[in-house]
Chain A
Amino acid sequence: MRIKVDRTRCTGCRLCTQICAIQNYGEINPKKAALRIEAKFPEPGQYRPFVCTQCGKCAEVCPENAITRNDIGAYVVDKSLCTNCEACVPVCPVGVVFQHPDLDHVIICTFCMKCTELCSTGAIVKWDKAPAAKSEAAPEAEA
């Protein structure tokens, strides 16, 4: 299971970042979301969603072994082990490991899929299919 992104469909509404923080932190605060939308304006006029691709690089560099894979295949942070040391932040190839001034641990996608449920344009969708070929691997998500 992965999250597939179609950039051409994103409208920049940030409903995904809202529901992400509500679901995972019980707070209305898009800065606590585990995904991000880049806006490229005025030119070329494009939104670029970035979501976790489950590459596992954050887990590889974690000195505390605080990031492990759970039973649905998501890399999750053990908040009691995470020291917020930042090692995982720069290694994320799509920039979706976050820190927040309120929190003593990093924010990483839990694969709750709430963003895919509420995205109304098909920009972020749940993708159950296992990648068969490189060209099909979570299109655009790695960009």
Chain B
Amino acid sequence: MANGLAGTTLRVNLKTGAVRRLPTDEALFRRWHGGRGVTAKLIYDEVPRDADPLGPQNIFILNAGVMSGAFIPAGSKVSFGSVSPLTNGHGDSNMGGHLGPALKFAGYDLVVFEDSAPRPVYLVIDDDRVELRDASKIWGMKSLDCEKAIKDELGEDFEVATIGPAGENGVLFSCITHDFGRQAGRTGQGAVMGSKRLKAICVRGTKSLRVHDLPALKKQVTEIILRTQKHPNMEPWQKYGTAFFIRWSNDNAVLPTYNFQTTHYENTDKIDGDQLVHKILVTHKACFGCWMNCGKYTKAVVPGKPAVYLEGPEYETGALCGANLGMKDIHHVAYINWLLDNLGMDSMSGGGVVAFGMECFERGLITEADLEGHALRWGEVDDVEHFLDMVAHRRGIGDWFAGGTKRAAQKIGKGSEKFAMQVKGQEMSGYDGRWAPGMLLSYMTADIGAHHNRSWTITVDMAEGRERVEGRAKIVIYLQHIRPLFDTWCICRLFWGELDITPEEIVESLNHITGWGVGVDECLRTSEMIWNLNRCHYLERNRADGRTFDYPPARSWEDKIPSGPGKGKGLTREQIEQMLDDYYDERGWDRRGNPTRELLEDLGLGDAADNLEKIGLLGEPLPGGIPKVRGEKYKPKAF
């Protein structure tokens, strides 16, 4: 195939060990644009609505899309997907590194894992040789240690993804780790792998990836490389990666601090990008085909503990495991990052969970008696290490926190739901939305729970007025369509966001690779189709009006920001309701937050409309009909 597809899909039945090779369904990839689109469709069609996300009826997908591995800026991504145990809706999470390209070069676009293995296994793909192997010797190993052990056995040129003890034990925010520091962190994909007793995936490929027009692609991408090498943002990105953004967030009152109590951290200068570069950096580290090298490989040294190597902390981890936990030393932030990576937990949700535990401890809602004699205090790295061990192994109240902040708050009660900083069960990213209403709306409405990769609006909020909510919904919708497209194509979005590669240029590359001949508008429409399918999927599984799931915790409107440049700022409940009304109107959903038949049929999702109607959750027809265009084009300013 000369269309960016390697040509083969694998169906691996983990219960029987049978491996089926099927021709990749080109029409499916064309309609859903690969990556998370194909994943969304397969999960919607194949997983029963009452299936336990951690049971054998869930499927687990490894998907390299249509652009991964090609000669394209950061064509490095691979997307994982399944029904999320954290949100109980469509779940997907992607990672950079080298696994996605390796899968393509081995000859595969997609691997679908069905059922669960009776005993621990790992999958080895070496070009045409595909086999499940006994994982009894590596089961129980920590993520990074396991990757090292597998590479020692198979060879350095295998690309390896692993889970750690947390994934094995069913911690709902478990991640998948690759390349000694790249993670697919969100939506608990590591827990799904663990539930299937799939410890690792190892891939080596030597084949060529054929594309529609390689000479045109070579010419276009070479020009882009030479142009962006001179972009003014290139130098800071290469030097700091995302870590330089800690200070920016603090200065602009969005840095989550002490479990999102405030947005200004007095010790920012001890954990920011300068500290990372000058104190712990070992080497810059890039994903496949990326010349921005935002990855920072580091060494953390904490007295009394072994020195550890890790990738990070990048911005999200630096914010959520730094300021949000009151850490005062970059070595401590990095050490916690390493703990989470090696135990196999998402360092975003992980930071959120520890911060929530710390606030509960501070308020006396949990005590040392609950924590095996240990405390859980702001800024204390030993406390965090012990607590994370309890969570990863689900000991005592560690079991409550293993379900994330939402489930932990349900167990703890006493008003703690107010400061469990999540939406739909997934913890918020590293931005406080109280003085950034578009960001809060982004969290509230994201299809996988609170996550910034669907929509990020801080600079939009600053430009359009941080106390105004009017007009924000349209922009959030546009961003929710364009940003996930990069995950759908399995490439990194940072070149668009930070180095001014335009969507038109990326779609031109897409056409050189696939020969599809599509335009940006068609791509955005595909993304809207995926978004609405995921909304339907969520409603079908959770059986209530969509609006009921779209609220942030009450801290978001009850507490004003108490300190720093955002002191006294905050949103009202009425403003939050108004944003939701606007958002539903602009999406073509009713005010209950349910998609209408007119919209779903317009997007070619008539079957999903039928399914919603059967359970009484189809949106009421809108008096004036659905908006002709959903979303308003907006390019947030790079930071």
Contact = CB atoms under 8 A, between A and B. Distances in A.
Q: Do A and B come from one complex?
A: yes
A42 B291 contact: no
A42 B206 contact: no
A120 B309 contact: no
B309 A121 contact: no
A11 interface: yes
Interface in B207-223: 207-211, 214, 218, 222
Interface string A58-102: 000000000000000000000000000000000000000000111
B335 interface: no
A142 B210 CA distance: 34
Interface in B30-85: 69-71
B288 interface: yes
B71 A121 contact: no
Contact of A118 (B206, B222, B282, B295): B222
Contacts of B206: 29, 31, 100-101
Interface string A8-33: 10011111001101100111111110
A29 B207 contact: yes
A13 B299 CA distance: 21
Contact of B209 (A28, A46, A102, A121): A28
B218 to A, nearest CB: 6
B105 A11 contact: no
B225 A120 contact: yes
B366 to A, nearest CB: 34
B309 A43 contact: yes
A32 B209 CA distance: 12
A41 B180 contact: yes
Interface range on chain B: under 10, 10 to 19, 20 to 34, or 35 or more?
35 or more
B214 A11 contact: no
A38 B180 CA distance: 14
A121 B218 contact: no
Contacts of A55: none
Interface residues of A, number: 34
Nearest to A40: B156
B218 A31 contact: no
B148 interface: yes
B214 A121 contact: no
A100 B206 CA distance: 8
Contact of B297 (A25, A38, A45, A121): A45
B71 A31 contact: no
Nearest to A46: B283
A28 B286 contact: no
Interface string B462-501: 0000000000000000000000000000000000000000
B424 interface: no
A22 B221 CA distance: 12
A13 B74 CA distance: 9
Interface in B229-278: 229, 234, 238
Contacts of A101: 206
A120 B71 CA distance: 15
Contacts of A32: 208
B309 A45 contact: yes
Contacts of B148: 42
Interface in B180-228: 180, 205-211, 214, 218, 222, 225-226
A46 B180 CA distance: 12
B209 A29 contact: yes
B284 interface: yes
A140 B259 CA distance: 48
Nearest to B292: A120
Given A22-B218, A28-B208, A39-B156, A14 B289 contact: yes
Interface of B: 69-71, 98, 101, 105, 144, 148, 156, 179-180, 205-211, 214, 218, 222, 225-226, 229, 234, 238, 282-291, 293, 295, 297, 299, 309
17 contacts: A8-B283, A12-B285, A14-B288, A15-B289, A15-B291, A28-B69, A28-B210, A28-B214, A29-B207, A31-B205, A43-B309, A45-B282, A45-B299, A46-B282, A46-B283, A100-B206, A118-B291
Given A13-B288, A15-B225, A31-B206, 5 more contacts: A11-B284, A13-B287, A21-B208, A28-B210, A121-B284
